[in-house]
């Protein structure tokens, strides 16, 4: 993996863009890579097949990654250049051409993307998190992927060392449990075969005690987005903000500290209103993340709004003593873990805490703790299984 190390200092130069500013620009403006550079082995390892619209993952520094999309030269001011076998980002500013790295695609994923089947479109990597996108089909009776296929994908990712945790992304399901009954065998199979953490990102169930069952089934991390989820246009009609808040507040009483997340998208609303929402969440022990999205028109003002919100996100997390070790560097979100990349000089920016996924000793200890805690809850919840029909 071609990632970059960064030193840490105290000098601040206002002329130098922060890593976060670069990340936002790439998400909103895309990237052009010339055909001759696409033939370079380092670049070719991260693209497939290298056509406009394709996503590419860049490392802006050791712990900050971004997914951007390829655009034709006449439509993108961001250009990837090669000099002395090193990759640089050129946006027309001669004083700011930072070195970047392209994250190689693992062989199993590159093979899937070459085929471009419906299944391949539902699997991607976000840093070292393997994302699997599922939905209920056949009137909600089964998933769009078989358990055997899901396990084979997870195994391929782990064998290549491409992932350290798995996230199941469940699309909206009109069942009361939002499709959890279909997911329970999947997470059980993953936890039985692999030593890993499993996250669930989806829609809150109608009955809150289903959240108890979600934890007891083996999910370690839970994300109920307030905005920014796939299909978010319909989300506002399906679930109210209050319903999501209530589910999140219930979940923090069940899951360990720092393992219940939500996502916010910054819109045109006043920033004081956004800050109040963040305070409400962190005060309850819920970890907010700000999702960065492409807009129809790029303006430099976007970053300064985001920077102010991100700074408040960091302060709120510190004030309410949120546990950050369960977070991981994310391609499209800003969490309290990596706010320094948006607020501080590149020479001093770093993660606020070390994620547990990369530490073997920490990973083993937390796996044991989580297993014990889950067993205790399973014992107390045997009646809940019967009432839920599981």
- Asked whether the predicted pLDDT for residue 2 surpasses 50, the reply is no
Q: Is the dihedral of CA 228, 233, 235, 241 positive or negative?
A: positive
For the stretch 173-216, pLDDT in tens is 999 999 999 999 999 999 999 989 999 999 999 999 999 999 99
For the stretch 15-71, pLDDT in tens is 678 999 999 999 998 999 999 999 888 899 999 888 888 999 999 998 999 999 999
For the stretch 136-171, pLDDT in tens is 999 888 999 999 999 999 999 999 999 999 999 999
pLDDT band at 306 (very low <50, low <70, confident <90, very high): very high
Strand partners, 154: none
Nearest to 59 by CA among 125, 158, 154: 125
In the chain, what percentage of residues exceed pLDDT 70?
83
Dist CA 17 CA 271 (whole Å): 22
How far is CA 372 from each of CA 28, 218, 253, 369, 379, rounded to the nearest angstrom? Answer: 44, 11, 17, 5, 11
Strands 287-291 vs 260-265: parallel, antiparallel or unpaired? parallel
């Amino acid at each position: 993996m071609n990632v970059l190390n960064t030193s840490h200092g105290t000098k601040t130069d206002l002329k130098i863009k922060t890593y976060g500013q670069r990340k936002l620009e790439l998400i909103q403006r895309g990237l052009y890579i010339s055909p001759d550079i696409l033939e370079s082995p380092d670049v070719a390892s991260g693209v497939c097949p290298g056509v406009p619209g394709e996503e590419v993952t860049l490392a802006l520094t050791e712990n900050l990654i971004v997914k951007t999309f390829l655009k034709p030269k006449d439509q993108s001011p961001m250009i990837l250049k090669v000099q002395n076998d090193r990759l640089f980002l050129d946006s027309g500013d001669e004083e700011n051409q930072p070195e970047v790295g392209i994250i190689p695609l693992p062989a199993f994923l590159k093979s899937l993307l070459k085929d471009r089947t419906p299944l391949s479109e539902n699997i991607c990597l976000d840093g070292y998190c393997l994302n699997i996108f599922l939905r209920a089909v056949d009137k909600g009776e089964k998933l769009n992927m078989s358990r055997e296929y899901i396990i084979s994908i997870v195994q391929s990712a782990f064998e290549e060392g491409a992932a350290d945790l798995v996230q199941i992304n469940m699309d909206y399901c009109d069942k009361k449990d939002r499709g959890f009954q279909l997911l329970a065998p999947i997470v059980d199979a993953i936890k039985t075969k692999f030593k890993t953490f499993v996250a669930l990102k989806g829609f809150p169930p109608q009955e809150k005690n289903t959240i108890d069952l979600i934890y007891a089934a083996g999910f370690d991390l839970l994300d109920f987005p307030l905005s920014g989820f796939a299909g978010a246009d319909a989300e506002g009609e399906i679930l109210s903000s209050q319903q999501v808040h209530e589910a999140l507040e219930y979940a923090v009483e069940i899951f360990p500290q720092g393992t219940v997340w939500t996502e916010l998208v910054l819109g045109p609303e006043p920033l004081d209103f956004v800050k109040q929402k963040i305070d409400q969440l962190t005060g309850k022990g819920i970890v907010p993340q700000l999702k960065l999205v492409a807009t129809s028109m790029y303006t430099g003002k976007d970053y300064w709004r985001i920077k102010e919100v991100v700074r408040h996100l960091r302060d709120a997390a510190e004030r309410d003593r949120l546990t950050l070790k369960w977070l991981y560097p994310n391609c499209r979100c800003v969490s309290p873990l990596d706010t320094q990349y948006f607020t501080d000089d590149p020479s001093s920016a770093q993660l606020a805490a070390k994620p547990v996924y990369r530490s073997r000793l920490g990973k083993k200890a937390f796996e044991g703790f989580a297993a014990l805690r889950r067993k205790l809850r399973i014992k107390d919840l045997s009646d809940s299984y019967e009432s839920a029909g599981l």
